[in-house]
Structure 1
Amino acid sequence: MAPFRHALNALAAITILATLSACTESDQQQAPAPPPRDVDVAQIETADLPVSFEFIGRTASSQRVEIRTRVAGFLDEVAYEEGKRVKQGDVLFKIDPAPFEARLRAAKAELAQLEARLENAEALLRRVKPLAEIEAVAQKELDDAQGSVREAAAAVEAAKARVFEAELDLGYTTITSPVEGLTSSATQREGAYLGIGSEPLTYVARINPIWVEFSVSEAQALRSRQAQVSGSMIIPEDKRFAVNIKLSDGTLFPNTGHISFADASVDDQTGTFLVRAEIPNVDTEPLRPGQYVRVYTSGAIRPDAILAPKRAVQQGPRGSFVWLVDDENKAEQRPVVTGPWVNDNWVIEQGLNAGDRVIVNGSLGLTPGTPVNIVSLVPIDHPENGAIE
């Protein structure tokens, strides 16, 4: 009986397993497939993208002239309003001219005396010369007369030089501005004695055009060069980048300038080199030397650049990635390499191609291969201002 009982138990077990398997298959066949996920996508396009580079800079005078005295004397007048703008030729200081006027009169008197001596010497020569031709006088008298004329003429020239020097010194008592610009405070006041070689009386800073100086790191320059070699960036043919600046309060300065100078060497302490831009200043509320500004240089282009909305780019353990809709309308995850951002978009340097459909909304909880339903197409704005690097 025991073998018969074991056979019955085995048969019962097989029957139960077959019944359970049939039920499971029936349940699976009856379970409906999940509906496709609704998503919004942006279709990737390529376009040339202007590129701007951002730096921190400082304004500087395009010509800063220290005002010094050329003659020694007592200061009579400070003739300008400190801190105000002056034009070229405006009077800044006046030194007591009386001693210099006296020297000029003395020099002119000496000149007149020597000119009279020259006339007498020339008159004597005119009398002696015909007599010497007929040998009525000795040759020595003719030689002496000619020597006296030359000596008197040389003395007259020396006297004229002293008169010119005295006139210069008298002119130097009125100190004028050599350039148009803003003045600084005066270091001396009326009555002070000014010596030659003393400290500057003030300075005048030319502010139109204004200079903006900023530093470019060696690493930035190398990245730019590599991008040019690879063709991922095109710079202006004449390397004449346009320059715009923002003030410390975020205001965009209305005038545009250009780069006028780049230093030939890299500073061994900072690893940067100096670049200077020249910008036309404005008459109302002009830029002044020493202001800190944000500098934006433009003119470079990223050809066939790819932009993706920021909402589409996500971060994972292995870096940035996006969700795509493949040809079968299923979700696909793809890693990307991002560059700078432009408004609400990332510049994608690697990972996307023109025509890819990137999921912008509805990616939460997606897994590779999930069916999706495209609800709307989100446009990608390619701004005219370009990327900031």
Structure 2
Amino acid sequence: MGTVLAGVAAFAGVSLSGSGAEPGPPTVTRTAADTMLSVTVTAPREKTAVERVPATGLLVPREEAAVMAEVANVRILGVAAEVGDRVRRGDRLAVLDAESLRLQVQQMEADHAKARDEYARVNSIRDSGAVSKSIVTEKKSALEAAKARLDEARLALRRTVVTAPEDGTVFERRATAGTVTAAGEPLFRIAKGGEVEADLRVPEGDAGRVPPQGRVALSLPGLDTPVAGTVRLVTPRIDASDRSASVRVSIAGDRPLMIGAFVHGAVDLATVTAFAVPSTAVQRDAQGAFVWAVEDGGRVVRRPVLPLLRQDGLTLVDGVTAGLNVVARAGSLLRSGDRVKTVEAR
């Protein structure tokens, strides 16, 4: 029986070796290099960039003058100025009804003339002893009071013609013919000198860093390109409603600007010079910001960095050097000490 099995086995071996069938696939042995991750690396390069903070606001007069009627409860007869008019100091803006004031002036003139005559009469005989010195003093005081009332009435009459207190541009008109003036309510508002500037709202965290005379790029309605501006004033007060400060920006050029228009601005804060890496290279965890760097042996190491400024897809950081191989796009697959294959960034 054993002899038969051996023979069968021998016969089978001979048949397989001469049958012409193709051999099976070779066995593949994978090495550690085959399982390495490929990463793109880049070298940090020095870059200078301007840190800017975006802000929004309105176009406002640099200085304004409120023109109020100095005579209350008087009807407005006519209006001589419109919004947009350029006016000079002393130009007529509106005319008030002066009839009642003219009557008051006439009455005061009569009272003044009477007081003047009475004082002249008693003063002429004071040395004769016919009148006492107290009577003379009383008549003199009455004359002075009558003169003051007359001057006040004449001043009120002159004030029925409302004039511009400053050179500038009228940007608001509330005066309407036929209405009655009210105390404390302006009839016109004038932009002194016609100067218009931007009032930007800058968050409190950046307001204190806005430099005097700093540069600002303004996007104005109707203009395709930004307009250059200069910081004129940073108000030393934070608005409690939106936690921002007002930054006044002078606008270059003499183009006509519409008060109240909405404006966008980019305010220069500081110029930063540092090494830049792709923003995708900067990682963050509980320990802070860092980048992955590849050493000469192909191993990944963690390098802590301090981000200074992010702009145009790059981040300026402190903590790297020019010759470092920084992983351009590091994800969660990398760990400190991993061996990787590097590909230079194009």
TM-score category by the smaller chain?
Answer: 0.5 to 0.7
RMSD: 4.5
- Cross-structure match for 1:138: none
Equivalent in 212, 221, 236 of residue 240 of structure 1: 212
Give 2:169's aligned amino acid: G
Q: Deviations over 1:244-267 (max 9, x none)?
A: 232255532233123331424633
1:176 equivalent to 2:163? Answer yes
Please list, as runs of the form range in 1=range in 2, the aligned pairs for 1:89-238 lying within 5 A after superposition. Answer: 89-128=90-129, 141=130, 144-179=131-166, 180-189=168-177, 192-197=178-183, 200-206=186-192, 208-216=195-203, 221=205, 235=209
Q: 1:118 and 1:296, CA in 2 relative to 1: closer, same or farther beyond 3 A? A: same
- Cross-structure match for 2:248: 278
- Cross-structure match for 1:297: 267
Alpha-carbon contact 2:53-2:267 (below 8 Å) kept:
yes
- Which SS does the other structure have where 2:321 is aligned? coil
Alpha-carbon contact 2:277-2:328 (below 8 Å) kept:
no
- Cross-structure match for 1:33: none
- Cross-structure match for 1:77: 78
Give 1:370's aligned amino acid: K
- Cross-structure match for 1:255: 229
Question: Which structure: greater helix fraction?
Answer: 1
Give 2:142's aligned amino acid: A
Give 1:70's aligned amino acid: E
Alpha-carbon contact 1:88-1:177 (below 8 Å) kept:
yes
1:353 equivalent to 2:321? Answer yes
**Identity rate of aligned residues, in percent?**
20
Q: Deviations over 1:319-367 (max 9, x none)?
A: 9987766457x585767765643345322366x3344255779xxxxx9
Q: 1:118 and 1:106, CA in 2 relative to 1: closer, same or farther beyond 3 A? A: same
Q: 1:259 and 1:108, CA in 2 relative to 1: closer, same or farther beyond 3 A? A: same
Give 1:182's aligned amino acid: V
Give 1:277 shift: 1.9
CA distance in 2, matches of 1:212, 1:259: 10
Moved more, 194-203 or 107-116: 194-203
Q: 1:251 and 1:336, CA in 2 relative to 1: closer, same or farther beyond 3 A? A: farther
Q: Deviations over 1:90-144 (max 9, x none)?
A: 321011334433433442343233223222222211333xxxxxxxxxxxx5xx4
Alpha-carbon contact 2:220-2:262 (below 8 Å) kept:
yes
Displacement over 6 Å in runs of 4+: 315-323
CA distance in 2, matches of 1:75, 1:264: 41
Alpha-carbon contact 2:51-2:309 (below 8 Å) kept:
no
Query: How many aligned residue pairs are there?
Result: 300
Q: 1:356 and 1:198, CA in 2 relative to 1: closer, same or farther beyond 3 A? A: closer
Alpha-carbon contact 2:43-2:325 (below 8 Å) kept:
yes
Q: Deviations over 1:277-321 (max 9, x none)?
A: 22335674343332222233324354x5331256xx458998998
Q: 1:195 and 1:370, CA in 2 relative to 1: closer, same or farther beyond 3 A? A: closer
Q: 1:81 and 1:340, CA in 2 relative to 1: closer, same or farther beyond 3 A? A: same
Moved more, 198-207 or 105-114: 198-207
- Cross-structure match for 1:55: 55
CA distance in 2, matches of 1:316, 1:147: 97
Give 1:85's aligned amino acid: R
Give 1:79 shift: 0.8
Alpha-carbon contact 2:66-2:190 (below 8 Å) kept:
yes
- Which SS does the other structure have where 2:134 is aligned? helix
Give 2:97's aligned amino acid: D
CA distance in 2, matches of 1:67, 1:317: 59
Higher relative contact order (CA 8 A, sep 6+): 1
Give 1:173 shift: 0.5
Q: 1:211 and 1:89, CA in 2 relative to 1: closer, same or farther beyond 3 A? A: farther
Gaps of 5+ in 1: 6-23, 25-36, 129-140, 229-234, 362-366, 379-389
Q: Deviations over 1:155-194 (max 9, x none)?
A: 11111111221122112111123343333244412xx152
Gaps of 5+ in 2: 7-26, 28-37, 330-337
- Which SS does the other structure have where 1:251 is aligned? coil
Give 1:276 shift: 1.4
